[in-house]
Amino acid sequence: MSLPESTLRLYYDDATLARFSATVTAVAKDGRVVYLDRTAFYPTSGGQPHDVGTLADVPVVDVVDEEAHVAHHLAEPLGLPVGAMVVGQVDMPRRVDHMQQHTAQHLLSALLTDQYGWPTVSVHFGDDSATVDVACTDGIAHELLAEIEHRANALALANHAVTVSYEDATTATGLRKASDRDGTLRIVNIEGLDRSACGGTHVARTGEIGAILLRRAERTRGHTRLEFLAGYRAVRRARLDAEWLARAARPLSAAPSDLPALVEQQQLRLTELERERKRLTGELAVYEAQSLWDGAQVVDAVRRIRHETTGAVKDADALVQQLLARGACVVLVTNLQSGGVLLAASPDSGVDAGQTLRAALQAAGGRGGGSPRVAQGAVATPSALPALVAALGF
């Protein structure tokens, strides 16, 4: 397959162009990859995701930048020969979303550099949100994040013009970041704020960005990462957050604004209840342990105690420790439903719990182990548990 000439990229000069006509210059992969003499479809490039839409009513599922050419990957063969004219339709809601996110990133990067001294290190545009990593080593407190968000929205609301120009790389000056490209540079200029070499799609004025929402900031690899959303995406996320808060507040018969205080109160209450549960569990373990101790079988002066539980075997630890403290004993805790097993042995019992249980579990097709005093594991299926119990001598 030979490609006659480079693809004319219509989105460079008109990011709002939704419908266009073009000529097929080449096809590949049985017509599922199509090349055109010109296109309005933006390929994945510079961190910005590709466009989708249709080409001659066939869904475009991916658009790939192949340097001089743009490859359109289709959901099914195009069914048209080289030289045929086709009409392309770009999915504009997706395109506008990408334009809003990308222009918001330029504005945000300019703000963070000029006002806070944090140049942008890297950028990522995702399906749900975007991130910008900046050279800030100390992190960003919640209050400062709110301040940055306020300033970014004020800049967007000022409705600065966003224009595109083409300049020679050797003479282009005033760029936010020096370009390592040769030849002609496509420069995106936000009036009075930013001037960057960029091949992406952008809105015509910053007011078209809409709202800018900064969700969080976290330190990562010596930098700080800010997650942001812009435009319709920010509004949708704010609506979703509001719905989640309302759902969380409803069972508490509270307003969403009361949730922080209520959650803190519930957490304190939960901590108190957990402390009380542990105290009561310890007291109950004393009585349970004494009952099991008194009724245990004694073999060679060592009590062999079996306890069946309906919970996790590890939750019987308080009971086990009470038994081990009473004297020479070996304790087996099992759960017939899950197949879980715990074996404990006092120091004067002559039994290594870890080695004994590991060997028995391996023979039964299970897994587990532990220390000489306490070990636990599980059989492959609960039906194998009775044989394991018998093998351990209980």
Rounded average pLDDT over 173-196: 92
- Whole-angstrom Cα distance, residue 294 to residue 330? 14
**Residue 1: is its pLDDT beyond 60?**
no
**Residue 327: is its pLDDT beyond 70?**
yes
pLDDT at residue number 179:
85
Binned at pLDDT 50, 70 and 90, residue 282 comes out as confident
**Residue 276: is its pLDDT beyond 90?**
yes
**Residue 83: is its pLDDT beyond 80?**
yes
182 vs 240: which has the higher pLDDT = 240
Handedness of CA 293, 296, 298, 299 (dihedral sign): negative
- Whole-angstrom Cα distance, residue 341 to residue 308? 9
Q: In a 3-state reduction of DSSP, which class is residue 353?
A: helix
Rounded average pLDDT over 19-37: 96
Q: In a 3-state reduction of DSSP, which class is residue 70?
A: strand
Half-sphere exposure of 371 (CA within 13 A, CB side): 4
Rounded average pLDDT over 164-168: 94
Binned at pLDDT 50, 70 and 90, residue 2 comes out as low
Residue type, 32: R
pLDDT at residue number 325:
94
- Which one, of 147, 181, 185, 149, lies nearest residue 166 by Cα? 185
The rounded mean pLDDT for the chain is 94
- Which one, of 88, 80, 6, lies nearest residue 40 by Cα? 88
Portion of the chain with pLDDT greater than 90, in percent: 79
pLDDT at residue number 178:
85
pLDDT at residue number 307:
95
Binned at pLDDT 50, 70 and 90, residue 54 comes out as very high
13: enclosing H helix or E strand = none
What does the DSSP assignment read for 286-340? HHHHHHHHHT-EEETTEEEEEEE-SS-GGGGHHHHHHHHTTSSEEEEEE-TTT-E
Rounded average pLDDT over 231-254: 91
**Residue 180: is its pLDDT beyond 90?**
no
Q: In a 3-state reduction of DSSP, which class is residue 124?
A: strand
Binned at pLDDT 50, 70 and 90, residue 221 comes out as confident
* C-alpha distance across the termini of the chain, in Å: 76
- Whole-angstrom Cα distance, residue 72 to residue 43? 8
Cβ neighbours of residue 48 under 8 Å, at least 6 residues apart? 42, 98, 101, 102, 125, 200, 201
pLDDT at residue number 57:
96
Question: pLDDT tens for residues 95-151?
Answer: 999 999 999 999 999 999 999 999 999 999 998 899 999 999 999 999 999 999 999
Portion of the chain with pLDDT greater than 70, in percent: 99
**Residue 33: is its pLDDT beyond 80?**
yes
- Whole-angstrom Cα distance, residue 274 to residue 231? 45
- Whole-angstrom Cα distance, residue 288 to residue 310? 15
**Residue 78: is its pLDDT beyond 60?**
yes
- Whole-angstrom Cα distance, residue 23 to residue 172? 34
Rounded average pLDDT over 351-360: 95
All structural domains of the chain: 8-90 (2.40.30.130), 96-250 (3.30.980.10), 277-391 (3.10.310.40)
- Whether the pTM exceeds 0.95: the reply is no
- Whole-angstrom Cα distance, residue 298 to residue 305? 9
* 3-state per-residue secondary structure call for 190-255: ECCCEEEECCCCCCCEHHHHCCEEEEEEEEECCEEEEEEEEHHHHHHHHHHHHHHHHHHHHHHCCC
Cβ neighbours of residue 139 under 8 Å, at least 6 residues apart? 217, 218, 219, 224
- Whole-angstrom Cα distance, residue 63 to residue 111? 32
